[in-house]
Amino acid sequence: MTRVESRRGSGVLSTFLCLAAAAAGSTGVAQAQSTNRPQLVVQRAEADLSAETLLIEGEKLMWANDSAVVVTLAGRPLDILGATESQVLVQLPADLTPGSYVLKLSRGSSSLQNGVFDVTIGAVGPTGPRGPKGDMGDTGPQGLTGPTGPMGPTGPAGRDGANGLNGAPGPAGPTGPAGPTGPAGTGMLPPVFVKQFDLRGSVNIPGIAPPVNSEIRGRGVSVARLDLPAGTFVVTFVGNFDNNAHWVAADNSRQIWCSTHTLEASSFFSLDGPSLWLPGMLFGSMGTVSWTVTAGNPTAPSRFEIFCGDPNHNTEEPTDVRSFEGSITAIQVGSVTRQ
């Protein structure tokens, strides 16, 4: 089949037929026609040159109250091969030459019953007026996936996770510089008092923080003591502690404070002893603290005693820390002048 669009004027020969809509009638609407009779409208035509037929499409090409449709091409009647209200198929003359012709359809004498078109057959006429915009077509298939876009900005930081396991202790630091030379001796060794403590399984270090809804601090626990005669002494305390805390999803590190007096509120802000930090590890950890201080009463006997506690746990909580070994060494000296 060859497509035909409406054209006016001459054109180039082509295998396509073009048909352009012409005016529905050349003389206007007759005053005497019925207001109920529909207008005959030709919309397009399509020719099949090999079959020598012309298919005409439109609206109200036939109407029940009118005569049968009559089709002429340049005034020449064409044989009707089939007709409906929207389509008419006619036989083209065998001797038809390419050119432009006047196509007329009629089902009566009034202008509503007639339609006239200029049609070019076997040649392409000049470009006709632009038709109305057609309906939107169906949605096409989904296209190929495009390239990955650029990375977006970094989102906000998430919440802190649970504390991980403590790492292994680092290597020992370098040896510090040598201290200043001490005063010349008298040629006689001073008296030395030594006491060892084997406390395995017997001294648990308590918490000294006040419990909830209380202001009473703990006293701590005594881990070593040495009774001294009258005099001034240089005293060294060495204590060994182990941390057996291995709670899940908890901070198992421990801090130990020690002093020469108990650790309750009345003396908490006058702590005068050493402190020790024990890391939390899967199989526990151990630490040693050494502290040297001047002690004693020049005129009367005295006692040197060490009390220890955990400031981060209250008195009702277990700390899982023990003092398992310690020693106190006291060397009697002459009077000590503090600088």
DSSP assignment string, 200-254: EEEEEPPEEEPPTT--PPP--EEEEEEEE-SSEEEEEEEEEEEE----TTS---E
**Residue 110 CB contacts under 8 Å (≥ 6 apart), including other chains:** 29, 30, 32, 33, 37
Q: Across all residues in the chain, what is the average pLDDT?
A: 81
Q: Is the pLDDT of residue 180 over 60?
A: yes
* Range name among 69-83, 156-170, 248-262, 302-316 with the lowest pLDDT average: 156-170
Query: Which whole-number Å values give the CA distances from 172 to 176, 271, 287, in the listed order?
Result: 11, 28, 13
Positions of CATH 2.60.120 in the chain: 192-333
Q: Is the pLDDT of residue 17 over 50?
A: no
Structure tokens at 136: 């939107």
Matching residue, tokens 């076997």: 122
CATH code for residues 192-333: 2.60.120
Given this model, what pLDDT does residue 72 score? 95
Given this model, what pLDDT does residue 21 score? 31
Instruction: Write down the architecture of domain 2-27+39-124 according to CATH.
Output: Sandwich (2.60)
The single-letter code of the amino acid at 41 is V
CA-CA distance, 162 to 164, in Å (whole number)?
6
Question: Pick from 269, 270, 271, 275: which is nearest to 205 by CA?
Answer: 275
Matching residue, tokens 């008296």: 191
Given this model, what pLDDT does residue 32 score? 39
DSSP element (H, E) containing 267: helix 265-268
Given this model, what pLDDT does residue 247 score? 87
Q: Is the pLDDT of residue 124 over 80?
A: no
**Bridging pattern class, strands 302-314 and 207-209:** parallel
Given this model, what pLDDT does residue 227 score? 93
Question: Pick from 204, 40, 168: which is nearest to 111 by CA?
Answer: 40
Percentage of the chain exceeding pLDDT 70: 82
Q: Is the pLDDT of residue 266 over 70?
A: no
* Range name among 7-21, 158-172, 190-204 with the lowest pLDDT average: 7-21
Residue 203's pLDDT band (boundaries 50, 70, 90)?
A: confident
Which residues are 117's β-sheet partners? 103
Given this model, what pLDDT does residue 11 score? 31
DSSP 262: -
Burial (CB count <10 Å: 0-12, 13-18, 19+), residue 134: exposed
Q: According to the 3-state scheme, what is the secondary structure of 6-50?
A: CCCCCCEECCCCEECCCCCCCCCCCCCCCCCCCCCEEEEEEEECC
Q: Is the pLDDT of residue 305 over 70?
A: yes
Range with the largest mean pLDDT of 203-207, 231-235, 248-252: 231-235
* pTM as predicted: 0.43
Each residue's pLDDT tens digit, 151-172: 989 989 888 888 878 888 889 8
Burial (CB count <10 Å: 0-12, 13-18, 19+), residue 257: buried
What is the rounded (10 degree) CA torsion for 19, 22, 25, 27? Answer: -140
The single-letter code of the amino acid at 71 is V
Cβ atoms < 10 Å from Cβ of 99: 15
CA-CA distance, 10 to 16, in Å (whole number)?
14
Structure tokens at 275: 């402190």
Burial (CB count <10 Å: 0-12, 13-18, 19+), residue 217: buried
Given this model, what pLDDT does residue 30 score? 37
Positions of CATH 2.60.40 in the chain: 2-27+39-124
Given this model, what pLDDT does residue 200 score? 60
**Cβ pair 57, 71 in contact under 8 A:** no
Q: Is the pLDDT of residue 39 over 90?
A: yes
Residue 125's pLDDT band (boundaries 50, 70, 90)?
A: low
Range with the largest mean pLDDT of 21-30, 45-54, 262-271: 45-54
Mean local confidence (pLDDT), 317-327: 89
Judged by DSSP in three states, 173 sits in coil
Given this model, what pLDDT does residue 201 score? 57
Given this model, what pLDDT does residue 332 score? 92
Residue bearing the bigger pLDDT, 3 or 123 = 123
